[in-house]
């Protein structure tokens, strides 16, 4: 479906992109719940009647998911939540992992994994993607490449949506996937791919 952008919309988008930078230091300020939902919706929410989402997906398969660690969000209990794309809402799954456990899975002592008010875990059902695209390459690994590319699109949406909510964040992929998975309650068949630390940036 073609859309026509106004000059103002072009200016806003180009300015946002040129100002996008990673933020790793956060204030203690809690995040507004509705702002968080809007950000998650940009990343993975269903936003049209045909079931499609703001981030592209090969064959519209949507093998990605978002697990959300809430530490400081106004009106939301601390915990490990699942983002439900169909209703753009959060479902509480478990307690948040104990303090220090995300850092222990970091390959680079990324302290912001512990200090961010929210950590969004981008997960993938790799088996689903590998199965679905097994005929596209002789090695049968095409689905894994698509998962990585789709994760990049989700991450950029997270960066840009955080900015318009006057928040900031950083994509973190220097993690021991298995160590991280042990700390989290993830949807069945999903493995962690990347993390996005989100909060109000310290100036």
Ligand X SMILES: Cc1cc2nc3c(=O)[nH]c(=O)nc-3n(C[C@H](O)[C@H](O)[C@H](O)COP(=O)(O)O)c2cc1C
Binding residues for ligand X, rule: CB under 6 A, are 21-22, 24, 108, 110, 170-174
- Of the pair 93, 179, the CB lying nearest ligand X is at 179
Residue with the shortest CB distance to ligand X: 174
3-state secondary structure of 94: strand
**Least distance to ligand X from the beta carbon of 23, Å?**
8
**Closest Cα partner for 67 from 191, 178, 201?**
191
**Closest Cα partner for 132 from 122, 146, 112?**
146
Whole-angstrom Cα distance, residue 87 to residue 167?
23
List CB contacts of 59: < 8 A, sequence separation 6 or more.
Answer: 132, 133
- Of the pair 79, 192, the CB lying nearest ligand X is at 192
- Of the pair 24, 142, the CB lying nearest ligand X is at 24
**Least distance to ligand X from the beta carbon of 16, Å?**
13
Angle between helices 142-164 and 33-44 (to 10 degrees): 150
Contact of 20 with 159, CB cutoff 8 Å: yes
- Of the pair 82, 113, the CB lying nearest ligand X is at 113
Whole-angstrom Cα distance, residue 37 to residue 52?
17
**Least distance to ligand X from the beta carbon of 151, Å?**
8
Through-space distance between the first and last CA atoms of the chain, rounded to whole angstroms = 40
**Least distance to ligand X from the beta carbon of 32, Å?**
24
- Of the pair 82, 180, the CB lying nearest ligand X is at 180
């Amino acid at each position: 479906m073609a859309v026509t952008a106004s000059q103002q919309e072009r200016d806003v988008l180009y300015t946002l992109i040129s100002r996008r930078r990673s933020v790793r230091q956060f204030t203690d300020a809690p995040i507004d719940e509705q702002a968080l939902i809007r950000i998650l919706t940009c990343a993975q929410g269903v936003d049209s009647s045909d079931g499609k989402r703001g981030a592209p997906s090969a064959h519209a398969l949507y093998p990605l998911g978002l697990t959300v660690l809430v530490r400081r969000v106004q009106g939301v209990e601390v915990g490990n939540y699942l983002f439900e794309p169909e209703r753009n809402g959060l479902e509480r799954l478990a307690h948040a992992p104990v303090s220090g456990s995300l850092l222990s899975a970091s390959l680079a002592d990324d302290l912001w994994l512990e200090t961010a008010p929210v950590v969004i875990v981008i997960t993938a059902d790799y088996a689903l993607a590998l199965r679905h695209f097994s005929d596209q390459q002789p090695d049968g690994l095409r689905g894994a490449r698509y998962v990585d590319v789709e994760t990049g699109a989700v991450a950029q949406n997270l960066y840009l949506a955080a900015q318009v909510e006057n928040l900031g964040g950083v994509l973190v992929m220097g993690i021991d996937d298995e160590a991280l998975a042990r700390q989290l309650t993830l949807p069945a068949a999903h493995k962690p791919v990347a993390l996005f630390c989100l909060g109000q940036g310290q100036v």
